[in-house]
Amino acid sequence: MLRVAQKLIESAYTSQSKLLARHGRSTRYHSFLSTHMPECSSFPNVKSHKELYDYSVQHPDNFWGTLASSRLEWIKPFSKVSNCNMNEGSIKWFEDGELNVSYNCVDRHANVTPSKVALIWEKDEPNQVEKITYKELLAKVCQIANVLKSQGVAKGDCVTIYMPVSPTAVAAMLACARIGAVHNVVFAGFSAEALAQRIQSASSETIITTDQAVRGGKIIPLKNVVDDAVKMCPTVKRVLVGTRTGNSVPWNDKDINLEEAMKHENDWCEPEAMNSEDWLFTLYTSGSTGKPKGIVHTQAGYLLYATVTSKFVFDIQEGDIFGCVADIGWITGHSYVVYGPLSNGTTSVLFESTPTYPDQGRYWDMVERIKLTQFYGAPTAIRLLLKYGDSWVKKYDRSSLRVLGSVGEPINHEAWEWYHNVVGNGKCPVVDTWWQTETGGIMITPRPSGPSDKIEPAMPMRPFFGVSPAILDDKHNELSGNDVSGACCIKSPWPGMARTIVGDHKRFFETYYKPFPGHYFSGDGCHRTASGYYQITGRMDDVINVSGHRLGTAEVEDVIDEHDAVAESAVIGCAHDIKGETPYAFVILKEGHTVDEKEFGEQVRRMIKEKISSFAVPEGILLTDGLPKTRSGKIMRRILRKIAVNDIDNLGDVSTLADPSVVDKLISLKRGAS
C-alpha cells in the first residue's frame, strides 16, 4: 500500500503541472518533501523548496547533521557536525564519528535486498551486458579486500587503481574503502609517465590493473603501460593484475594474478571502523602549474554529499537504473557511478565503451536495452552526436528516461536544445551540473527546485542545498544583486569539499583559500543573470578543458620545453566545436636551432602523448621567435588566445607589452600557417 502511494507521488512529481492545478503549489511540494525528505519534519517551518534551501544554508549543522544521521549508517555516531575555518582552509565534518563507506554502499543494501542488481556492466563489445547483485558485489569487495590484506596492505596505505570501468574496478575501490586503504584511481587513458608521477606523488606501493583494456573495439595494452610506469617507481611492491581479455601479457616478479588470489580468499571481510576525517581517496587533477594536484577526499562528508546530491539532483526513485557514462578515472565516475548511486541502493550502469562504437547510436541503444531512467554525460559527446543527426537517436526507445544530466564543461545552447528536444523528446528535465574534483559533488544545478520552477537552457542556475555561492570582484568584494560577473566562490563550507592536496597543504591553501580570504575559490568565472541564476563563464586561470578533461597549459608547456631545440613555449586553449577547447602551442626555438617543422611537430605531439595523454596533444604548433610579454616578462595569453583563432580585430590593449611588434609578427606567421 505504502509503495503504491509512494509511486503515485513520485510520478506526480515528474508530471508537475497536473497536480499543481489540483492541489496548489505548497501542498504539492510539501507532499514531495514528506516523501523524499522526511527529515524536513524536524526543520521548523519548511514547506517549500525555497524554505528548505534557506534552512539548509542558514542552519547547515542542523541540515547536514540530520541528513548524515538519517542517510548514512554509523559505527560510532558523531557529536559534532562541522568544524571548518575557511580563512585557514581547515575543513572537518562529523569529526568524532566513525563509519565504513563500503558498508554504506554495499552491505546495508545486500542485507535487505541481496538480489537487487547493483551494477550493470555495459561492456565495450555491443550487446554484452553483465549484471552483478548487491550480494555478489559484497562478496567481490570482501575477496579483494582480503587479497589486499594478505598482501600486507594496511589502513592508510595508498592503492593505485589503473583499470577500465568494470565491476572489478568498482569492487577494488570499495575494497580499499572497506579496509581503510586510500585509493588513487588513475584514468586508464593516461600514459606511463603520467601514471608514474601519480604513483610516486601518492607514495603508493600497490597497483591494481588489468591485462588489457578494450575501448571502441581496440585493445589497449594496459599492463605494458603499468610495467613501464613501475620501472620508474622502485617503491612499488606489488601489481595485482585482473583479467579483461585473457590475452597473454608480460609477467614480472611483482605481479599477482588478481582472480587467482581472490579464489583463495574468504568472501567476508569485516569493515574497518573509519574516522569521518580519515582519507577515502586521492584523485589527481590539473592545476595551473605543471604538477597535477592530488586532491584528497575524506570518508563521511564526501559520502554524504555524493549520496544526497545523487538522490535529489537526479530524483532517484526505487527501481531506477542510473546511467552515468563517465569513466571511474574522473571525479564524476567516483561520485555518480560508484559512491552516490550505490549509497542510495540504486542500480548503477558501468559504461565501458565510447559514444560512437559500434556506431553513433550506442548510447540510445543502451538506453533502450537497459531501460535507463537517468542519463548523465558530457557536452562534448552530445556535440559530437548531434552532428550525425536525429535518426541515430530516434531509432531507439528512450521512454524510460526521466532526467538528463550534463557535466564537465559548459553546454552550449545548440547541444542543450538537442539533448532536451531530441534525446529527451522534450519530456525530461536537463540538468546542467556545475562542480569540480575539489567540490566532491554537484554544487550548482537546476534541480532540485520547487515544482513550478522552470529550467533555463544551458546554465546550472541554482545552488544545491547547503551551497552559498558568492561572486567576487578583483578587490575581493562580494557583488550583490543580479546581472553581475566575477570570480565564482563559495562562502560557506559543505560536507563534500576537498580537505587537502597530497603532500602540499600549502598549495591547497594558496590555490583555494588565499585568493579570496574566507571563501573557497573555484578558479572559474561566473555570471549571475538578471533573474538571479548562475552561469559559468569559464576558467580564470591557465587551465583548459579538452573534451571535459581538465588540463593545465603548463603541463603541456613543460613537455614541449623538454625538446632539445625548444627555448620556450606558451600553450593556450582555443575553442573547438566538439572538444570545447583544444590546446594550441606557440614555440620559440633555441638560438641557432633550425628544425623541419613537420618533423618537429610530430616529435612534440609524440612526446605529449607519451608524457601526458592523447587528449593533451595540441591542435596546432606555431614556431615563432617572440611571444607577447609584459615588461615584467609575463606572457599575455589573452593575446595568444585571439591570435590562435584569428580573432585579430579584438586584441585589446597591447601597449603594456615589452615589444608590441611581436603581435604583428605572430599574426602574419599564423596566417601563413593556417
Smallest gap from residue 174 Cβ to ligand WT7 (A): 21
SS3 281: strand
Decide: 623 and 600 in contact? Cβ < 8 Å: yes
Smallest gap from residue 353 Cβ to ligand WT7 (A): 19
Decide: 60 and 84 in contact? Cβ < 8 Å: no
Q: Nearer to ligand WT7 by C-beta: 239 or 430?
A: 430
Decide: 297 and 91 in contact? Cβ < 8 Å: no
Q: Nearer to ligand WT7 by C-beta: 536 or 574?
A: 536
Decide: 374 and 405 in contact? Cβ < 8 Å: yes
Residues 6+ apart with CB under 8 A from 558: 290
Q: Nearer to ligand WT7 by C-beta: 180 or 405?
A: 405
Residue 496's Cβ-count burial label (10 Å; 0-12, 13-18, 19+) is buried
Decide: 445 and 22 in contact? Cβ < 8 Å: no
Looking at 333, 410, 424, 441, which residue binds ligand WT7 (CB under 6 A)? 410
Q: Nearer to ligand WT7 by C-beta: 563 or 637?
A: 637
Looking at 271, 523, 573, 628, which residue binds ligand WT7 (CB under 6 A)? 523
Smallest gap from residue 460 Cβ to ligand WT7 (A): 5
Smallest gap from residue 418 Cβ to ligand WT7 (A): 16
Q: Rounded to a whole number, what is the distance in angstroms from the first to the last CA of the chain?
A: 68
Q: Counting contacts by CB under 6 A, is residue 285 touching ligand WT7?
A: yes
Q: Counting contacts by CB under 6 A, is residue 277 touching ligand WT7?
A: no
Q: Counting contacts by CB under 6 A, is residue 346 touching ligand WT7?
A: no
Q: Counting contacts by CB under 6 A, is residue 424 touching ligand WT7?
A: no
Smallest gap from residue 536 Cβ to ligand WT7 (A): 4
The Cα–Cα gap between 46 and 464 comes to: 16
Q: Nearer to ligand WT7 by C-beta: 93 or 187?
A: 187
Looking at 32, 103, 392, 435, which residue binds ligand WT7 (CB under 6 A)? 435
Among 204-212, 272-280, 468-476, 522-530, which window interacts with ligand WT7 (CB under 6 A)? Answer: 522-530
Provide the grid cell at 421. 528536444
Smallest gap from residue 514 Cβ to ligand WT7 (A): 18
Q: Counting contacts by CB under 6 A, is residue 408 touching ligand WT7?
A: yes
Q: Nearer to ligand WT7 by C-beta: 162 or 435?
A: 435
Smallest gap from residue 443 Cβ to ligand WT7 (A): 9
State which of positions 445-484 bind ligand WT7 (CB under 6 A): 460
Task: Give the residue among 455, 213, 428 at the shortest CA–CA distance from 323.
Answer: 428
Provide the grid cell at 409. 564543461
Q: Counting contacts by CB under 6 A, is residue 524 touching ligand WT7?
A: yes
Among 144-152, 168-176, 207-215, 426-434, which window interacts with ligand WT7 (CB under 6 A)? Answer: 426-434
Residues 6+ apart with CB under 8 A from 537: 485, 524, 525, 526, 527
Q: Nearer to ligand WT7 by C-beta: 97 or 333?
A: 333
Q: Counting contacts by CB under 6 A, is residue 331 touching ligand WT7?
A: yes
Among 229-237, 324-332, 345-353, 512-520, which window interacts with ligand WT7 (CB under 6 A)? Answer: 324-332
Q: How many CB atoms lie within 10 A of CB 371?
A: 17
Task: Give the residue among 536, 611, 604, 619 at the shortest CA–CA distance from 573.
Answer: 619
Q: Counting contacts by CB under 6 A, is residue 282 touching ligand WT7?
A: no
Tell me the number of residues near ligand WT7 by CB under 6 A. Answer: 22
What does the CA dihedral 471, 476, 479, 480 come to, rounded to 10 degrees? 110
Smallest gap from residue 439 Cβ to ligand WT7 (A): 8
Sign of CA dihedral 324, 325, 330, 334: positive
Task: Give the residue among 211, 49, 89, 66 at the shortest CA–CA distance from 501.
Answer: 89
Q: Nearer to ligand WT7 by C-beta: 211 or 327?
A: 327
The amino acid present at 310, given as its one-letter code, is S
The Cα–Cα gap between 587 and 567 comes to: 8
Number of H helices, E strands in the chain: 24, 28
Q: Counting contacts by CB under 6 A, is residue 644 touching ligand WT7?
A: no
Looking at 16, 168, 184, 436, which residue binds ligand WT7 (CB under 6 A)? 436
Q: What are the C-alpha distances in Å from 470 to residues 21, 51, 149, 184, 411? A: 36, 20, 45, 31, 22
The Cα–Cα gap between 40 and 14 comes to: 20
The Cα–Cα gap between 530 and 515 comes to: 27
Instruction: Please work out, in degrees rounded to the nearest 5, the angle formed at the alpha carbon of residue 337 by the alpha carbons of 335 and 340.
Output: 45
x-or-dash string of contact with ligand WT7, 526-565, rule CB under 6 A: ----------x--x-----x----x---------------
The Cα–Cα gap between 28 and 23 comes to: 6
Q: Nearer to ligand WT7 by C-beta: 242 or 340?
A: 340
Show the 3-state SS of 543-577. EEEECCEEEEHHHHHHHHHCCCCEEEEEEEEEEEC
Provide the grid cell at 637. 595569453
Residue nearest to ligand WT7 (CB): 437
Smallest gap from residue 177 Cβ to ligand WT7 (A): 20
Q: Counting contacts by CB under 6 A, is residue 522 touching ligand WT7?
A: yes
Q: Nearer to ligand WT7 by C-beta: 37 or 487?
A: 487
x-or-dash string of contact with ligand WT7, 212-251, rule CB under 6 A: ----------------------------------------
Among 474-482, 497-505, 520-528, 656-664, which window interacts with ligand WT7 (CB under 6 A)? Answer: 520-528
By the criterion CB under 6 A, which residues form the site for ligand WT7?
285, 330-332, 407-410, 432-437, 460, 522-524, 536, 539, 545, 550
